[in-house]
Amino acid sequence: MTNRTVLLATVLAGTLYACGDFTSVDIASVERTLELQHTEVWSKGNYDSLSSIYTEDYVGHFPGGQTVNGRDGLRKTVQSHRVSFPSWDEQVLEIIVDGNDAATRFRSRGTHEGEFLGIPATGNKIDILEASIYHMVDGKIAEQWAFPDVASLQQQLVPQQSD
């Protein structure tokens, strides 16, 4: 191998490395952001915190092919969800961070007090496990893929038969 080939390979490798997404990630900061989106946004309905947690062009992918675009779209989605489940509470069980990607596993609870997915309020207590995968940009959630236990949720939404 000639010196020229070695130099070319070195320059090419350096260029590829520089073009990659190898930014330093503050894991504790990402974990805090993810914790806040569960506790502040979904559990408390604190919409003032959206700008510090989500990017302006946030995209959320939810079951049934539902896509939520932007902070305003997310605010409307959370508001609607909290009408159906005013006492909704999310408890983070685990957070995993890998560079600019992360995941949470969490438990969601609430009482079904308003129409949800066409199902009238049942008064049933809901308790499900969920997971979400995130792509972070500059410490904020830019994209999310949500995976609630839909089968368990649907089962718990069935009106209870009285004896």
pLDDT digit string, tens, across residues 90-103? 999 999 999 999 99
**Dmax of the chain from CA atoms?**
87
Of the candidates 21, 70, 29, 54, the residue with the CA atom closest to the CA atom of residue 140:
54
Residue 70 lies in a domain: yes
| Domain enclosing residue 126, as ranges | 25-157
Strand partners, 133: 103, 145
Structural domain contains residue 118: yes
**62 three-state secondary structure:** strand
What's the structural domain count of the chain?
Answer: 1
Query: Does any domain span residue 15?
Result: no
List the 140-148 sheet strands across, edge first: 66-69, 54-62, 140-148, 125-137, 101-111, 89-98
CATH for 40: 3.10.450.50
8 found inside a domain: no
**How does residue 26 score in pLDDT terms, banded at 50, 70 and 90?**
confident
**Helix, strand, or coil (residue 2):** coil
Note whether residue 150 is domain-resident: yes
Residue 119 lies in a domain: yes
Is 86's pLDDT higher than 90?
Answer: yes
Within-domain flag for 7: no
Tokens describing residue 120:
């009238």
Query: How is residue 28 written in tokens?
Result: 């504790």
SS3 109: strand
Q: State yes or no: pLDDT of 5 exceeds 80.
A: no
- The pTM of this model reads 0.82
